[in-house]
A and B are shown apart, each in its own frame.
Chain A
Amino acid sequence: MSGVRVLVGTRKGAFVLTSDGRRDDWTVEGPHFGGWEIYHVNGSPADPDRIYASQSGGWFGQLIQRSDDGGKTWNAVGNDFAYRGDVGDHLWYDGTPRPWEFKRIWHIEPSRDDPDTVYAGGEDAALYLSNDGGQKWTELTALRHHPTGPTWQPGAGGLCLHTIILDPANKDRIYIAISAAGAFRSDDGGASWLPINKGLRSGEIPDQDSEVGHCVHHVTQHPSRPDTLFMQKHWDVLRTDDAGANWHEVSGNLPSDFGFPIAVHAHEPETVYVVPIKSDSEHFPPEGKLRVYRSRTGGNEWEPLTKGLPQSDCYVNVYRDAMCVDTLDPCGVYFGTTGGQVYHSADAGDTWAPIVRDLPAVLSVEVQVLP
Chain B
Amino acid sequence: MIRVVLPAHLKNLAHVSGEVHLEVDGPADGGQVTSRQVLDTLEERYPVLLGTIRDRHSGKRRAFVRFYACEEDLSNEPPDTPLPERVVAGQEPFIILGAMAGG
Residues on A close to B: CB < 8 A? 35-36, 57-63, 76, 79-80, 82
Closest-by-CB residue of B relative to A80 is B56
Closest-by-CB residue of B relative to A55 is B13
Q: Is the CB of B101 within 8 A of A63?
A: no
Closest-by-CB residue of A relative to B48 is A76
Contact residue among B7, B53, B64 (Cβ-Cβ distance under 8 Å from A58): B64
Within 8 Å of chain A (Cβ to Cβ): is B62?
yes
Q: A35-B9, A63-B13 are in contact. Are A58 and B52 (CB under 8 A)?
A: no
Q: Is the CB of B9 within 8 A of A61?
A: no
Interface contacts beyond A80-B50, A82-B57: sample of 5 additional A-B pairs, CB < 8 Å, sorted by A: A36-B9, A59-B9, A59-B98, A60-B10, A60-B65
Q: Is the CB of A57 within 8 A of B9?
A: yes
Q: What is the CA–CA distance of A62 and B52 in the complex, to the nearest angstrom?
A: 7
Q: What is the CA–CA distance of A36 and B7 in the complex, to the nearest angstrom?
A: 13
- Size of interface on B: residues with Cβ below 8 Å to A: 17
B101 partner residues in chain A, CB cutoff 8 A: 58-59
Smallest CB separation, A362 vs chain B (Å): 20
Q: Is the CB of B65 within 8 A of A59?
A: yes
Chain B residues 35-73 with CB under 8 Å of chain A are: 48, 50-53, 56-57, 62, 64-65
Within 8 Å of chain A (Cβ to Cβ): is B1?
no
Q: Is the CB of A59 within 8 A of B51?
A: no
Q: What is the CA–CA distance of A80 and B51 in the complex, to the nearest angstrom?
A: 8
Smallest CB separation, B62 vs chain A (Å): 6
Residues on B close to A: CB < 8 A? 7, 9-10, 13, 48, 50-53, 56-57, 62, 64-65, 98-99, 101
Closest-by-CB residue of B relative to A60 is B52
Closest-by-CB residue of A relative to B56 is A80
B98 partner residues in chain A, CB cutoff 8 A: 59-60
A60 partner residues in chain B, CB cutoff 8 A: 7, 9-10, 13, 52-53, 62, 65, 98
B52 partner residues in chain A, CB cutoff 8 A: 60-61, 63
Q: A59-B65, A59-B98 are in contact. Are A76 and B51 (CB under 8 A)?
A: no
A76 partner residues in chain B, CB cutoff 8 A: 13, 48
B51 partner residues in chain A, CB cutoff 8 A: 61-63, 79-80
Smallest CB separation, A303 vs chain B (Å): 42
Contact residue among B7, B10, B50 (Cβ-Cβ distance under 8 Å from A79): B50
A63 partner residues in chain B, CB cutoff 8 A: 13, 48, 51-52
A62 partner residues in chain B, CB cutoff 8 A: 51
Q: A79-B50, A79-B51 are in contact. Are A59 and B57 (CB under 8 A)?
A: no
Q: What is the CA–CA distance of A82 and B51 in the complex, to the nearest angstrom?
A: 11
Q: What is the CA–CA distance of A68 and B82 in the complex, to the nearest angstrom?
A: 43
Q: List 10 A-B contacts (CB under 8 A).
A: A35-B9, A36-B9, A58-B64, A59-B7, A59-B9, A59-B65, A60-B10, A60-B52, A62-B51, A79-B51
Smallest CB separation, B42 vs chain A (Å): 13
The residue among A57, A59, A62, A80 with the most chain B CB atoms within 10 A of its own CB is A59
The residue among A35, A36, A58, A82 with the most chain B CB atoms within 10 A of its own CB is A58
B48 partner residues in chain A, CB cutoff 8 A: 63, 76
Q: What is the CA–CA distance of A60 and B43 in the complex, to the nearest angstrom?
A: 14
Q: What is the CA–CA distance of A36 and B57 in the complex, to the nearest angstrom?
A: 23
B57 partner residues in chain A, CB cutoff 8 A: 82
